[in-house]
Amino acid sequence: MRILVVDDDPGFLKGIARLLRAKGFEVTGYSSAEEFQAYADLRDAACLILDIHLSGISGIELALQQCRSGSDVPVIFITGNGHKATQDAAMAAGCAAYLEKPCPAKTLMDALSAALQSR
């Protein structure tokens, strides 16, 4: 299964890709929403993991765009700047999970497992 990850923190992107690959997933990472829009192929995507606070287009706006385009790929939001308003916006965007950085690997894997089962 392919997991698509969008995060503008290169260290986090590398770390999450390493974790997911160790768990048997194929991972494609993008450093911005714009890069995702230019190159992502959702046809075989099982889940989308998005940082909320991206430079340029936000993770929430990217998720809303995907929803409007008819995508049913579940979205997990991860943020380093969690606020109640941000969490509310993420939930309104229809996310499968909302996690705050730093996020324990088990918490992420549990959220991913739930998102994949809901599909």
User: 83-110: per-residue pLDDT in tens?
Assistant: 888 888 888 888 999 999 989 999 999 9
CB neighbour burial string for 87-103, b if at least 16 within 10 angstroms, e if fewer: bebbeebebbbbbeeeb
Which pLDDT band holds residue 80 (cuts at 50, 70, 90)?
confident
By C-alpha distance, which of 97, 91, 92, 94 is closest to 109? 97
pLDDT at 117: 94
For residues 17-24, average pLDDT: 97
User: 26-49: per-residue pLDDT in tens?
Assistant: 999 999 999 999 999 898 999 999
Question: What letter represents residue 109's amino acid?
Answer: M
Q: What is the pTM of this model?
A: 0.95
For residues 65-74, average pLDDT: 92
Average pLDDT over all residues of the chain = 94
Q: Which CATH fold topology does 2-118 show?
A: Rossmann fold (3.40.50)
pLDDT at 119 over 80: no
pLDDT at 83: 82
Token pair 């997991």: residue: 3
**Domain residue extents for the chain:** 2-118
pLDDT at 36: 97
User: Can you tell me the distance from the alpha carbon of 119 to that of 35, in angstroms, rounded to the nearest whole number?
Assistant: 25
Q: HEC states along the chain?
A: CEEEEECCCHHHHHHHHHHHHHCCCEEEEECCHHHHHHHCCHHHEEEEEEECCCCCCCHHHHHHHHHHCCCCCCEEEEECCCCHHHHHHHHHCCCCEEEECCCCHHHHHHHHHHHHHHC
